[in-house]
């Protein structure tokens, strides 16, 4: 009788399109489904993200017939104890590329634990797409062309009638999914809701995605990012259903952005917390103060910025267009280093992804690869007028401005009753702070003509 195998679930909490899981099933007499919960990592995450993870684990456990082992502890001793208890001779998993996952794999190798690694959470694994000279891409557009040319495999089906080994003995006493609560109302988690959401998006949202994705006041995006965060659905599953229409093509490009940022972090692991372009460490920055607190609370006095920050606090998610606007406001209007905002997002976002978060922030801050130049400053008023013309998004999240019409809501200071319901006054003058940010830029680089403000 052969020994059972262990399948170590990581950021792939699903059954379908999981090649490493199929390999584990083929390799053993039954599979021990295992998730290792690092409470040290969890303590640094926010309540929303932790609760979302727990809900995802509960959904996975249900699909496994209640047989998931969720054990708190460090990776190496946990894997060793589970192997010894069940007499397992192989451990299967998919590859991780975030710093924590990379270290876990390295720790296993250094201590003699051999992992059978197959696949990853990406259509094309980071490091695979390279220029003709073998170096990594630093700009998205040529990366995208290379990524398309490389291609990806078709999704694989979920296993049929697998034999799961349930928690037994001391493993049963150790296995427990925490009852962690969120500060907000979370959406449905799990593989089935992810597939249903994607099906709905294909039917009613994908064709208009290229036009609607920049309008935060409507349901113009897929909102699949929380499901991708824990691998409840794989990018291959999404890509397999996309056609050649403009909306589908733009959505495919958004998937590629996620993979590009993962590739950048793979080649530059320090950039999860440090500057990709080191010269920006020399820029003059301010220290977080009451203005930073106002930004965090959505009380800057700029309606489009405040609506976005309040959406984050209320839902654990923020529209991508407004992520750029609030990031620009923090770095260019408040003159704070991007890491302050990155950490705040990391604490509150349920879809937090280390590569996308760090490099999304650095793109807007102008210090990342393929960066939006530092001198390109988002105007928080004009962005609102352009992408929330009727003020629907602002009214949804900023109750103090719900009485204003579309012509007044973006600049309440111009309205006689703009502040009558308690909305805060502007904490800074955008026009003045834009010039200040450009002046600080000139201190670290040779003077050259600057283009007009981005509207």
- Domain encompassing residue 389: 272-444
**d(C-alpha 112, C-alpha 207), whole Å:** 50
Task: Measure the CA angle with vertex 11, ends 112 and 370; round to 5°.
Answer: 105
Burial class for 204, CB neighbours closer than 10 Å (0-12, 13-18, 19+): exposed
Backbone angles phi, psi at 67, to 5 degrees: -105, 5
Q: What is the CATH number of the domain that holds 61?
A: 3.40.50.620
**d(C-alpha 2, C-alpha 15), whole Å:** 23
pLDDT in tens, 264-317: 999 999 999 999 999 999 999 999 999 999 999 999 999 999 999 999 999 999
Q: Is residue 311 within 8 Å of 360, Cβ to Cβ?
A: no
Q: Is residue 265 within 8 Å of 97, Cβ to Cβ?
A: yes
Q: What is the pLDDT of residue 90?
A: 97
State the number of CA atoms in the 13 A half-sphere of 74 facing the CB.
6
Question: Cβ–Cβ contacts within 10 Å for residue 220, how many?
Answer: 18
Residues, the chain: 455
**d(C-alpha 213, C-alpha 222), whole Å:** 9
Looking at residues 9-36, what average pLDDT do you find?
97
Q: Is the dihedral of CA 393, 396, 397, 399 positive or negative?
A: positive
Q: What is the pLDDT of residue 371?
A: 67
Looking at residues 161-177, what average pLDDT do you find?
96
pTM here is 0.94
Residues 97, 144, single domain; the answer is no
Tokens found for residue 88: 């397992």
Q: How many domains does the chain have?
A: 3
Decide which of 104, 120, 136 is a domain's last residue: 120
Q: What string of DSSP letters covers 177-243?
A: ---PPPSSPPPP-SHHHHHHHHHHHHHHTSTTHHHHTT-TTS--S---HHHHHTTSS-HHHHHTT--
Q: Map residue 426 onto helix, strand or coil.
A: coil
How far is residue 137 from each of residues 42, 224, 299, 364, 422, measured CA to CA in Å? 33, 26, 39, 19, 49
Burial class for 392, CB neighbours closer than 10 Å (0-12, 13-18, 19+): middle
**d(C-alpha 24, C-alpha 162), whole Å:** 10
Q: Is residue 138 within 8 Å of 370, Cβ to Cβ?
A: yes
Q: What is the pLDDT of residue 446?
A: 59
Token look-up 């201190």 returns 443
CA-based nearest residue to 299, from 401, 402, 447: 401
pLDDT in tens, 78-134: 999 999 999 999 999 999 999 999 999 999 999 999 999 999 999 999 999 999 999
Residues 68, 131, single domain; the answer is no
Q: Is residue 94 within 8 Å of 18, Cβ to Cβ?
A: yes
Residues 318, 333, single domain; the answer is yes
Q: Angle 47-63/338-348 helices, nearest 10 degrees?
A: 40
Residues 428, 372, single domain; the answer is yes
Instruction: Give the confidence band of 178 by pLDDT, cuts at 50, 70, 90.
Output: very high
Residues 251, 301, single domain; the answer is no
Residue 165 lies in a domain: no
Residues 141, 242, single domain; the answer is yes
Tell me which H or E stretch contains 131: none
Q: Detail the DSSP E strand segments found in 19-174.
A: 31-37, 69-72, 90-95, 115-120
Residue 350 lies in a domain: yes
Q: What is the pLDDT of residue 43?
A: 84
**d(C-alpha 315, C-alpha 183), whole Å:** 9
Tokens found for residue 322: 């407004």
Q: What is the pLDDT of residue 44?
A: 85
Q: Is residue 121 within 8 Å of 265, Cβ to Cβ?
A: no
Residue 203 lies in a domain: yes
Residues 239, 387, single domain; the answer is no
pLDDT in tens, 351-408: 999 999 999 999 999 999 876 788 889 999 999 999 999 999 999 999 999 999 999 9
Q: What is the pLDDT of residue 2?
A: 77
Residue 176 lies in a domain: no
Residues 403, 352, single domain; the answer is yes
Residues 207, 302, single domain; the answer is no
Q: Is the pLDDT of residue 453 over 70?
A: no
Residue 161 lies in a domain: no
Tokens found for residue 266: 């793979």
**d(C-alpha 44, C-alpha 347), whole Å:** 8
Q: What is the pLDDT of residue 454?
A: 60
Residues 30, 114, single domain; the answer is yes
Q: Is the pLDDT of residue 62 over 60?
A: yes
Q: Is the pLDDT of residue 455 over 70?
A: no
Residues 64, 127, single domain; the answer is no
Q: Is residue 38 within 8 Å of 75, Cβ to Cβ?
A: yes
Q: Is 407 left (phi over 0), alpha (psi -120 to 50) or beta?
A: alpha
Looking at residues 28-43, what average pLDDT do you find?
92
**d(C-alpha 225, C-alpha 194), whole Å:** 10
Q: What is the pLDDT of residue 260?
A: 98
pLDDT in tens, 239-257: 999 999 999 999 999 999 9
Q: What is the pLDDT of residue 1?
A: 47
Residue 222 lies in a domain: yes
């Amino acid at each position: 009788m052969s020994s059972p195998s262990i399948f170590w679930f990581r950021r792939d909490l699903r059954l379908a399109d999981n090649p490493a899981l199929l390999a584990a099933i083929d390799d053993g007499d039954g599979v021990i489904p295992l998730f290792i919960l690092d409470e040290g990592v969890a303590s640094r995450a926010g309540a929303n993200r932790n609760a979302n993870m727990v809900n995802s684990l509960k959904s996975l456990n249900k699909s496994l017939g209640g047989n998931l082992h969720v054990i708190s502890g460090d990776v190496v001793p946990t894997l060793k104890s589970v192997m010894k208890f069940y007499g397992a001779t192989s451990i299967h998993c998919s590859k991780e590329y975030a710093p924590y996952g990379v270290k876990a794999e390295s720790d296993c190798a250094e201590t003699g634990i051999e992992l059978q690694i197959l696949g990853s959470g990406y259509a094309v694994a980071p490091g695979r797409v390279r220029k003709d000279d073998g170096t990594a891409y630093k700009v998205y557009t040529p990366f995208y062309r290379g990524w398309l040319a490389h291609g990806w495999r078709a999704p694989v089906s979920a296993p049929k009638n697998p034999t799961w080994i349930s928690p037994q003995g001391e493993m049963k006493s150790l296995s427990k999914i925490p009852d962690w609560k969120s500060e907000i109302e979370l959406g449905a988690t799990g593989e089935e809701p992810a597939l249903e959401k994607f099906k709905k998006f294909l039917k009613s949202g994908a064709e208009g995605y290229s036009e609607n994705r920049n309008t935060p006041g409507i349901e113009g995006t897929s909102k699949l990012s929380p499901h991708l965060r824990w691998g409840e659905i794989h990018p291959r599953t999404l890509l397999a259903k996309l056609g050649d229409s403009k909306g589908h093509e733009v959505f495919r490009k958004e998937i590629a952005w996620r993979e590009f940022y993962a590739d950048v972090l793979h080649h530059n692991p320090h950039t999860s917390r440090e500057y990709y372009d080191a010269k920006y460490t020399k820029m003059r920055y301010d220290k977080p103060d009451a203005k930073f607190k106002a930004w965090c609370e959505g009380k800057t006095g700029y309606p489009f910025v405040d609506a976005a920050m309040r959406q984050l606090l209320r839902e654990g998610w923020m529209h991508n267009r407004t992520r750029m606007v609030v990031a620009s406001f923090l770095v260019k209007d408040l003159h704070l280093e991007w890491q302050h905002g990155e950490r705040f997002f990391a604490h509150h976002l349920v879809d937090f992804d280390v590569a996308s978060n760090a490099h999304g922030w650095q793109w807007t801050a102008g210090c990342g690869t393929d960066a939006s130049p530092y001198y390109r400053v988002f105007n928080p008023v004009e962005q609102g007028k352009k992408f929330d013309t009727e003020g629907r998004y602002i009214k949804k999240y900023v109750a103090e401005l719900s009485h204003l019409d579309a012509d007044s809501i973006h600049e309440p200071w111009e309205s006689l009753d703009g502040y009558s319901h308690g909305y805060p006054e502007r904490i800074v003058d955008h026009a003045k702070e834009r010039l200040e940010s450009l002046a600080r830029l000139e201190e670290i680089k040779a003077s050259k003509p600057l283009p007009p403000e981005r509207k």
